[in-house]
Structure 1
């Protein structure tokens, strides 16, 4: 028993258990919510409207709750309060029978649920020795979702649709234990990572293998902010080279030590560990937020998140209706869902290597290319001769969702200055949800005019156009970067994005 408790005391194991159980609880109700509405007699248009409004409510909610947590340094309290509130609100959906009552209860549950994964992702990122390790935590969410989907369906089939909500509540109870420890473990983990970085920096200094060309967080030798001392170079959104003129993106456990002195490395690591947990004054918070959203690379990243959300919403809302139209059975649809879940696990597991090798920018480009291909293949499915060909296409979900979500989460950590980590995660997930809602809205309108096959073809061309626009924007920003001075800091010497030119941060 003691050994089991000792294992659960490990912050990494705690975070993985949170993802496993929280997603297992979610799958008990998420896929069956619309079925419950239909059994109550709601029309297809009413069900569709509820689905669209859920996404539009979750987008501003995730940002607002995350901003509140960052501003008051209350991440753990906000996480637990919204998680408990969302579980209770889902039970409230069982009470009303009118459309407006169901709509109000559902939107309340969505409003409270939206920030939960945002804050959990922000906590998991603090536990990563390098940002690209995030996928090793998030893959357990895919495991929980995929592993419990079949048992949840069996329970609901045997006991009735109302047990979707009861099962969600029961499965959520152990999540309270792990959720209560997510953010409370962060300072200790950050300190341990900082000490590990200092040891590696000291060893490198002794061996004479320390790179030169920039101090910690730039040539000035200032201590990095928000734990950035754990790595020498980050994954800039626009694919900029490393400090010192190198063109290949790298991720190192030790930062570049100015002058090769072990004392400076220890001091930098200590400051980084304390900075990660330090609250940010309210006035400084708004100045940092304004400075952050003014950065061109941040705007490009936000558009990328919305574009990916648009493609995801188009697929998630209409694919299974399209497959049923093509003659797919319920069993085939179930197999397709299983494949999408299974594809996430290796993608989350291996995305760290992809990010280390290619960087965030190229991985996000790969995601958008995969979305263009996936949507086009759906449009071509009637010409394949059998609807079974949808199964290999579903393997692309590992790239489009898992790699897209992982790279986006990692990039939030890279771009966010101190005190804005959760806000950045909330904005990313909010814009993804907003794009999802746009895909559902436009997809339904286009599908009503040209059919589902034509809708997927239009969506593929639309995503391609968005991607080309993003590539053009990056090219323009890179040109401007060579002709304009470095961006000013946030008023306290900490540049937006965790690093300036010299520190391998996120230059435009």
Structure 2
């Protein structure tokens, strides 16, 4: 058995999620700096999420068909850098929409294929996945804190430059990672094609829950920074609050193997949905109270950490080696669908209904996912 290239895999996650750490908290702030209204901001933020509905399935099918997953990762990273660099040539709504769509088409090709490569290097030991993935959370923390401080000192005009530098890091990290192919383990995983495995008990219900969970994150990823700015928090404080949530996520990733030893994947997912519903109510109504806001950010351990690790484990256990790319791609695509719808409704409702009701609708979506998981998923799906 080949040794696990831990640091090579970890370095890729570090840079990949550093990019997310620079976009999730600050992209809407940058568009606001350019003078766009909340509805237009919601649309621009939703465009990359909409591309996530299309790109992962196309690239996932291509990866499973050709087996050239690492090549797709490298080309996707390079094209992400090249297409996003077009942002320096214009700042109109139409031009920015094109840049958001183009770079996202390639960016969303990368992670699902890399997840398959990582799991192949781990030889199916999904309990070790969290130990590698936590470096993505560390990258997110470093970026969100560092960029928050930088944007306090300098103009938001330097924001695209920071993104380009991080994208260059993703390209470099992708060149350092060795290839690996998933191996079949038993007949069940290889039985039938992708669609047959998708119709297995509980699998479709899981994917519906994924879309609802990401829809519930729409107001959080699109308007939390603006929401906290309007409540009087500084950009440095906002960056630290984003980082606090991801620190909680890192701790949870470190504990996931113990959690999976005691609880089924289904129960972990169910708990994450319920806690998400609570978190959105707190952020929408009580974020002006620092103690409540800190508690709400600590819940990121459940609403992302537990949810993501359990979802990756669910997909890995539900599809065979030849369908892993499509399984991970569908997870990414439905996450994008839900996230895009969440960003769009948040953009239109933010001024009309206010933060409280906007986050309240997010809470309802998370509760709907909990109900589906409780009554329509396979009850005995476990990960040991």
Could you state the TM-score of these two structures normalised by the residue count of structure 2? Answer: 0.87
Could you state the TM-score of these two structures normalised by the residue count of structure 1? Answer: 0.68
Aligned residues: 380
Counterpart-to-counterpart distance in 2, 1:412 and 1:141:
19
Counterpart-to-counterpart distance in 2, 1:328 and 1:288:
51
CA contact (8 A) 1:156 1:162 kept: no
**C-alpha displacement at 1:75, in angstroms?**
0.3
- Provide the secondary structure at the position in 2 that maps to 1:97: coil
Counterpart-to-counterpart distance in 1, 2:166 and 2:351:
39
Higher mean C-alpha displacement, 306-315 vs 407-416 = 306-315
**Partner residue in 1 for 2:161:** 166
**Partner residue in 2 for 1:354:** 259
**Partner residue in 1 for 2:18:** 24
User: Which of the residues 304, 324, 327 maps onto 1:401?
Assistant: 304
Structure 1 residues 182 and 359: alpha-carbon distance in aligned structure 2, compared to 1, 3 A threshold: farther
CA contact (8 A) 1:28 1:148 kept: yes
Higher RCO (CA-CA < 8 Å; seq separation 6+): 2
CA contact (8 A) 2:272 2:306 kept: yes
User: Which of the residues 230, 245, 248 maps onto 1:340?
Assistant: 245
1:118 aligns with 2:112: yes
**Partner residue in 1 for 2:130:** 135
Counterpart-to-counterpart distance in 2, 1:29 and 1:175:
15
**Partner residue in 2 for 1:293:** 198
**Partner residue in 1 for 2:36:** 42
The 5-angstrom pairing of residues 326-337 of structure 1 reads 326-337=231-242
CA contact (8 A) 1:134 1:352 kept: no
1:90 aligns with 2:84: yes
Q: Any unmatched runs of 5+ in structure 1?
A: 1-8, 191-224, 235-271, 276-283, 482-503
**Partner residue in 1 for 2:5:** 11
User: Which of the residues 222, 227, 238 maps onto 1:317?
Assistant: 222
User: Which of the residues 312, 326, 330 maps onto 1:423?
Assistant: 326
The root-mean-square deviation of aligned C-alpha atoms, in Å, is 3.0
Which structure 1 residue ranges, 4+ long, deviate > 6 Å from structure 2? none
User: Which of the residues 294, 299, 317 maps onto 1:414?
Assistant: 317
Structure 1 residues 94 and 430: alpha-carbon distance in aligned structure 2, compared to 1, 3 A threshold: same
- Provide the secondary structure at the position in 2 that maps to 1:296: coil
CA contact (8 A) 1:28 1:165 kept: no
**Partner residue in 2 for 1:494:** none
**Partner residue in 2 for 1:455:** 358
Structure 1 residues 92 and 449: alpha-carbon distance in aligned structure 2, compared to 1, 3 A threshold: closer
Larger helix share, 1 or 2: 2
Structure 1 residues 57 and 394: alpha-carbon distance in aligned structure 2, compared to 1, 3 A threshold: same
Counterpart-to-counterpart distance in 2, 1:96 and 1:359:
50
CA contact (8 A) 1:142 1:345 kept: yes
User: Which of the residues 330, 337, 342 maps onto 1:439?
Assistant: 342
